[in-house]
Structures are given as C-alpha cells and as structure tokens.
Amino acid sequence: MRPERLGDFNAIACAIVCGLGNIVVKIGLTEVTTELFTFWMFAAAFVISVIAMLNGKIRREVLSTDLKTAGLISLLTVFFSLGIYTSYQALKLIEPATVSFLSRFEIILTLVFAYFFLKERLTGYELFGALVAVAGVFILKYRTTLEISHAATLMILSACFFAASEIVVKKYIRMMGTMRFVFIRNVIAVGIFYLILIIAGQPMMIPDGPTLLWAFLGALLLPILGRVTYIEALKRIDISRAAIFTQATPLFTALFALIILHSIPTPVEWLGGILIVAGVLIVMLTEKMSFKRRPAY
C-alpha cells in the first residue's frame, strides 16, 4: 500500500475508533464521576503501554527519549489531560454526537492561537470559516437547553486546551515518535488525573466490573488506538489532509450512538454541529499551512 493511501487509512481509522470511543466513555460515565472514570481509564492505558514495552523496538524507542522530548511530551500531556477532563464533563451531560461536533471548534481556536502567538497570517477564507463555526457554537450555546449550553462552555474550554497543545505539536510531532509519545503521555496522565481526583475531594475506589471494562475499552480506543492511528497518519500525509478525514468523527459518533444508545441529536443540535464542521472544512480546504488537525481524544 502506498504511503499516502496508508496515511488516509489511518486517518479515517482514527475517526472511527474515536467515534466509537466517545460512546464507550458515555456509557462508562453513567455510574461514576468524571474524575474517577478518567483516572481508571488512563490507569488502564498505562497498563496497556507497559505491556507494549515487552516489544523490543517499542522499548528502545521509549528508553532513547531525551530530556527535551520528554519535556515537550509532558507539556502536551498537561494540556491534553485538561482538555480530556473538560470534554468528558460535557460528555456526561449531553449526547456524544453533540460533544463531538463541539470538539471540532478546536481547529478554529488553533487558528486564532497561531495568529496571536506565532504571528501567522489569517486569510479572508479562514475568517469566513471561523465565523461560520462560531455561528454553530452560538446556536448550541444560546439556542438550545441550559444543559447543552453548559456543556458547550465546557467544550469551548476543552478546545482551548487542545488548541494550546497544537501550538506545541506543530513543529515537534515527528521528533516525538508514536509509542514514545503514547507511553510517556499515559504515565504522566495517570498522575494528573489522580491529582484531579484528590482536588475534587473524591475517595480512591475501584468501580464495579462493567465500569472497569468500559474504562479499559475507552483506554484502548482513545488514548491508545486513537492516538496511534493519528500519529501514523501524520507520518505519511499532511496534517491538513489528515484533519479533513478526522472531521468525520461526529458522523461516526452519531452513527454509533444511534446503533448502541438509540439516541440522535435534535435538529437544532444538527444545525449547530453542521455549521461548526462546515466552518472548519472551509478553513482547512483553503489552508496552506500544515498544522491544523483534530483529535481526541
């Protein structure tokens, strides 16, 4: 398979596994708090990463990490963990597809951050796309229920954290290495989510069997497969091309939500979500820089 085709395959695989992962997390959050679930999910991700270290190639990649790379991954992990925490808080409140639509706003905030912090120029098309996306967020924030409005606020905050990580990722994604990034990120994330658990004043406890299973599946789909497929895509295709494929994540989330949860967003939620995705696509299809991407997650 040609590198470009393999890159496209990994990008669409990322959208699929993240879409399914959103449903798994939604189910897992039913019986426990966000703080407890995220801790156990990343504890599971850490265990999976340690098992992966049995592979000699992966072990050599991780152990060869220099201090600069470890520092960059640590910084990214802080932003990433806070972005995950706020997005899961929103996911606990509303439909997974609506959360996924709102998560696309990260691309617009990345564009804005790059303008202010990296002095990168904004084109008229980018400004137009940003306005379309903002209109979608406005609809979800002010033309829907109070619960969705609160979740939209959380997702805007989450998008800020993820966009901040993009500024770091822009220049250093290739030097980090796929498994090196995943392993170090999961190790640090466990500590961060344990700290969040303490700050929230919640006792450390082991959830019931089904919740632990959902945490394990969520870890496998999102911080492991979701991140691996995305990084593997970035090794073979431009970030902007990979991001176009990953914009399908809300559609896969909605499909899995319909099949598994028998739920679907309301017409107003679809309208707001479609405007956000449309605005992001306008930005990416006219974007000549190569740092725009998605997530997740």
Q: What was the pLDDT predicted at 171?
A: 64
pLDDT of 199 over the 90 cut = yes
Residue 60 has which token pair? Answer: 């050599």
Task: Determine the Cα–Cα distance for residues 262 and 248; give it in Å rounded to an integer.
Answer: 20
In tens, the pLDDT along 56-82 reads 988 998 999 889 889 888 988 999 999
Q: Which residue has the higher pLDDT, 41 or 287?
A: 41
pLDDT of 16 over the 90 cut = yes
In tens, the pLDDT along 260-283 reads 999 989 999 999 999 999 998 888
Residue 56 has which token pair? Answer: 């000699």
pTM above 0.75, yes or no: yes
**Residue 208: Cβ within 10 Å count:** 9
Q: Which residue has the higher pLDDT, 211 or 291?
A: 211
Question: Can you give the residue ranges of every domain in the chain?
Answer: 3-285
Q: What was the pLDDT predicted at 239?
A: 67
Task: Determine the Cα–Cα distance for residues 85 and 73; give it in Å rounded to an integer.
Answer: 18
Nearest to 293 by CA among 238, 253, 224: 238
pLDDT of 206 over the 70 cut = yes
- If you count DSSP H runs as helices and E runs as strands, how many of each does the chain have, helices first? 14, 0
| Mean pLDDT in residue range 89-113 | 91
- Share of residues in the chain with pLDDT > 70 (%): 92
- Enumerate residues 6+ apart whose C-beta is below 8 A from 258: 264
pLDDT of 50 over the 80 cut = yes
In tens, the pLDDT along 117-137 reads 767 677 888 889 999 999 999
